[in-house]
Amino acid sequence: MVNTRRINEQYKRYEAWLEQNKDSRFVIIELGAGLAVPTIRNFGEKFVKRSKKATLIRINPRDNYISEYIGISLKCGALDGLRQILC
């Protein structure tokens, strides 16, 4: 059974946190989220579109496409992608 009240409370806290940090800089690093589970991909894309100073880095060897207006695409595995970011 889904605890809707708990989910709603968490969502309200998340929304409040977003509002408090709306002018902060963020980087979301998405590792290996393919097309089969769009909720993960959608979350990052929506977050970046909503935030003024956010960037999404999508790392995926196959399903790496992302619009250049909202993020950076790396066509590789997770470890190689993280190494590219860190070096």
pLDDT for the residue 22? 86
Distance from C-alpha of 74 to C-alpha of 66, rounded to nearest angstrom: 10
| CA distance from start to end of the chain | 46
- Domain residue ranges in the chain: 24-86
pLDDT for the residue 5? 93
Averaged confidence pLDDT in the chain? 92
- Pick the more confident residue, 13 or 1: 13
What is the mean predicted confidence (pLDDT) over 11-36? 93
pTM, 2 dp? 0.84
Contact assessment for residue 73 and residue 61, using Cβ atoms and an 8 Å cutoff: no
Which class for 1: exposed (0-12), middle (13-18), buried (19 or more C-beta within 10 A)? exposed
pLDDT for the residue 1? 66
pLDDT for the residue 56? 97
